[in-house]
Amino acid sequence: MAAAAAIIEARNLVMRYPSVVAVDDVSLAIAQGECFGLLGPNGAGKTTTIEILEGILVPTSGTTLFRGQALGKEFHAEAGIQFQSTALQDFLTVRETIELFRQLYNRLPSIDSVVAECALGELLDRDARKISGGQRQRLLLAIALINDPTVIFLDEPTTGLDPQSRRNFWDLVDTIKKRNKTIIMTTHYMEEAYVLCDRIAIMDHGKIIAEGAPDQLLKHHYEDVILQLPQADFPPALADLEHKVLANQQLVEIATTDVNATILRLTEQRVPLNHLRIRPRNLEDLFLELTGRELRT
């Protein structure tokens, strides 16, 4: 992406702590109206990177620009931020919490529009400490939107939410995207990144190891698709096919660039196809391939 079109640009960011380099020469350019996702395993440097972009952390070296200028008052007035974990002032209602943040910016005449957008109307008089996880994330999003921001940062916004709350949150983000807002988010959920993000960057060990539109990245890395069969139906005679056993799911995954030929071989071996599933490669495949399968802490 051309730097001239970028609303947020990071150049050669480095964040060095005594025992680790959390961000190692990261450069990014994010265009106005784009939804950009930062993906990576735990400890990859996503949160540190997004907090540098937010102006919360000062990097060891490198620069972050907003509309070509160093981050300053204008940026803070135009940025909306939802941190990974945030405590709010105790004993305030949802309405009082949103009002507090509105008065810190004083850009919107009332809280009505964000309350409607984030579906908080019925919660306004509830104690903000006593709402559910999904409701709390909607409240935090409302606070992030209270200054009608140009750029919105969402750091793992749906972690810990149930599937309904997560999908509800995606709808909210989708609505915001349609208003030509720029969104920069981190997430552990590949499906979320695929659904919401126009472009993603996969980070590991503080570096960006892949960057692009989700479909483009998949196309670039994969030409094959995956055939899934019950492990019990997979005959030893087909061991020469490139395959992977998912023991815990009792499935065998066969990667193939020629589905017809592979199915022909399966039928020749009289493999029952009643439970055969064909799926395209997804971001999770790419993520695991690029970052490895070992457990991160």
Partner 1 sequence: MIARILAVLKARNIEFVRDRASMVWAIVVPFVLVFGLGIIFSGGDSSQFTVAVLDDAEAVAAHVHPYYATRFVEFVPVKNSAEAIKKVGRHQFDLLFEREPVARYWVNPESPTGYLAERLLLQTDPTAVREAVTGEAVRYVDWLVPGILGMNMMFACLFGVGYVVVRYRKNGFLKRLRATPLSAFEFITAQALSRLILVLAVQTFVFFGVKVFLDISMEGSYLALLVVALLGCSALIALALVIAARINSEEIAAGVLNVCTFPMMLLSGVFFSLEAAPQWLQGLANLLPLTQILAAARAIMIDGAGFAGVWPHLAALVVMTAVFLAVGAALFRWRFI
Q: Where along the sequence are the contacts to partner 1 (CB under 8 A)?
A: 54-56, 73, 76-77, 79, 81, 83, 85-92, 96, 99-101, 103-106, 143, 147
Give least dist CB 204 to partner 1, A: 25
CA dist 272 and 263 (Å) reads: 11
Give least dist CB 284 to partner 1, A: 30
Q: Which is nearer to partner 1, 34 or 78 (CB)?
A: 78
Question: Secondary structure of 219-238 in the HEC alphabet?
Answer: HHHCCCEEEEEEHHHCCHHH
CA dist 251 and 227 (Å) reads: 10
Q: Which is nearer to partner 1, 139 or 202 (CB)?
A: 139
Q: Which is nearer to partner 1, 105 or 194 (CB)?
A: 105
85: phi then psi, degrees, rounded to nearest 5: -140, 130
Give least dist CB 73 to partner 1, A: 7
Rounded to 5°, the CA angle 172-174-175 comes to 65
Q: Which is nearer to partner 1, 90 or 240 (CB)?
A: 90
Give least dist CB 80 to partner 1, A: 9
CA distances from 275 to 49, 178, 240, 251, 271 (A): 44, 40, 21, 10, 10
Task: Copy the structure tokens of residue 297.
Answer: 């802490």
Give least dist CB 87 to partner 1, A: 4
Q: Which is nearer to partner 1, 55 or 212 (CB)?
A: 55
Give least dist CB 85 to partner 1, A: 6
For 193, other C-beta atoms within 10 Å of its C-beta total 24
145: phi then psi, degrees, rounded to nearest 5: -95, 0
Q: Which is nearer to partner 1, 15 or 227 (CB)?
A: 15
CA dist 203 and 158 (Å) reads: 19
Continuous segment of H or E residues that includes residue 160 = none
